[in-house]
Amino acid sequence: MAPALIKYGLLPQKNTAFFLCDLQEKFRPAMLHFEQIVEVANKLVQTSKILDVPLVVTEQHPKGLGHTVPELDVSHACGVFPKTKFSMVTPDVSPLLSTLCGGQLQCVVLFGVEAHVCVEQTAAELTARGFQVHVVADACTSRSQEDRLLAFQRLKQIGCFITTSETVIFKLLGDKEHPNFADIRPLIKTTSPNTGLAAVSKM
C-alpha cells in the first residue's frame, strides 16, 4: 500500500500487526472499566486470529502481576513475552519488527494498559522507528481517567491515530465482499460497551 494511504490512516491487512499490552489478572481491580476493556480487546484478539493478523502479547512482571486474563485466548499469538521494561519494544520483541508480515510491517494496532505508561511508551518507540501506530481508545485504560485521556492527547501529538475497535476491524476488512466478512460479522453485530470515552470529545 502506498505510504500516503498509510499516513492517512488506512490499515492494510497484510502490513498490520496487533500489539496487546499487559492485560493481566492483577490489574483487574485497579483499572477503570477493566471488564469492558477486556470485552473490546477480545474482539480484536478474535479478529487477529480470523484475519491472520500477527498478534504480539506482553506481560509486565508476570511473576508478581499474573498472566494475561483468561477471557483472552492468545494461543495464536506470535509470542507472549514477559517484561520489566514499560515499552513493549523489549529485546525479545524488537527482532520481530523486521520479520512480522513477511518483513513488510507498516502499521501497529496497539491496545492494553496502562494508557499513559506502557501503551504510551510503546507507541512512542514504535513511532520513532517509523511505524504508523493506531491506539485503540476503547481497548486502553489507566487507573485514572485524567491519565488515560491526557495520554490520548499526547499520543496524537506524536502522530498516532486514536481509534476504536470497530474502526480498526472495518478498515482491515475494507469491503463487504472480504472473504472473512461472515466470520467477523458476529464480532461487530453488537456495539462495543461503554468504556467512559464520552469525555474525549470535550477535551
pLDDT in tens, 75-88: 999 999 999 999 99
Q: Is residue 111 part of a domain?
A: yes
Q: Is residue 91 part of a domain?
A: yes
In whole angstroms, what separates CA 43 from the centre of its chain? 11
Task: State the CB neighbour count (10 A cutoff) for residue 200.
Answer: 14
Q: Is residue 7 part of a domain?
A: no
For residue 43, what are the domain limits? Answer: 13-190
Q: What is the pLDDT of residues 7-56, one digit of tens each?
A: 889 999 999 999 999 999 999 999 999 999 999 999 999 999 999 999 99
Q: Is residue 156 part of a domain?
A: yes
Count of the separate structural domains present in the chain: 1
Question: What nine digits make up the cell of 48?
Answer: 487477529
| pTM, entire model | 0.95
Q: Is residue 6 part of a domain?
A: no
Task: State the CB neighbour count (10 A cutoff) for residue 104.
Answer: 13
CATH number at residue 96: 3.40.50.850
Active site residues: 22, 83, 118
Task: State the CB neighbour count (10 A cutoff) for residue 76.
Answer: 13
Q: Is residue 33 part of a domain?
A: yes
Q: Is residue 40 part of a domain?
A: yes
